[in-house]
Amino acid sequence: MNLAIDIGNTAVKWAAFEGSSMVDQGYGMPEGLLPKADRVLACASGAVANQSLPLLRSDTPLPIHLDYKTPDTLGADRVADACGAWALHRGEDCLVIDAGTCITVDFLDREGTYHGGAIMPGLQMNLRALHTFTAQLPLIELEPGRKAPVLGRSTEESIVAGTLGATLLALAGYVALYRQKCPSLRVLLTGGDAPLLAQGAEAGWEQVPLLSLVGLNGIMEMKNEK
């Protein structure tokens, strides 16, 4: 059994795999499963809760090639997402949108080369910033299914338009730019805030909630493929 763990800034999620099949998953540190696993691999974008965990690092062998100027500073979660895209859609051009504390947009080509991408503030970060750094703007809570108006006719609607709406427009712009060079581009949407974006996302974007865990398992499975 392979045990993949993603330690984020706000949550810890894990999944157990038999080969390429996910057999269990959950949230929080899987202390009871750690001794039972044949292989364990974790990626950490937040604080590491268990320093003894085998972590995905810049020198970890990968099923993809990194074409990135500063691999030592590349977030392990971004690498895991790219490996997940490769595990699910090998041989296709993929754009991975991970909507977490920050939103990352990363490109993996059909040859398995990761080229980097973009980092932007996440939805919650934007909402909290508006509330924290102004005197009168309220803190808005977004729920899945909330649509972003183009024209906000109240303060709350205007905040939703300027956060959720602007984020969706920015992401659609990135997708359009990449599709100019890769018409058959596959777009994968993951991360804790993916459900907030899914309602307004373009048709054809594929939601993969546990993409990073699929990628970590793909890295562990490399030994079986050799």
Alpha helix stretches (DSSP H) within 147-208: 155-160, 166-181, 194-198
In the chain, what are the helix, strand and coil shares in percent, each to the nearest 5?
Answer: 35, 25, 40
Burial class (CB in 10 A: 0-12, 13-18, 19+), 147: exposed
Alpha helix stretches (DSSP H) within 89-199: 123-132, 155-160, 166-181, 194-198
Among the listed residues 6, 77, 106, 109, the single catalytic one is 77
Strands (E), 20-127: 21-27, 39-44, 65-66, 94-99, 102-108, 113-121
Q: Is 77 one of the annotated active-site residues of the chain?
A: yes
| Closest of 199, 193, 190, 206 to residue 15, by C-alpha | 190
What six digits make up the tokens of 156?
Answer: 């709350």
Question: Annotated catalytic sites, by residue?
Answer: 77
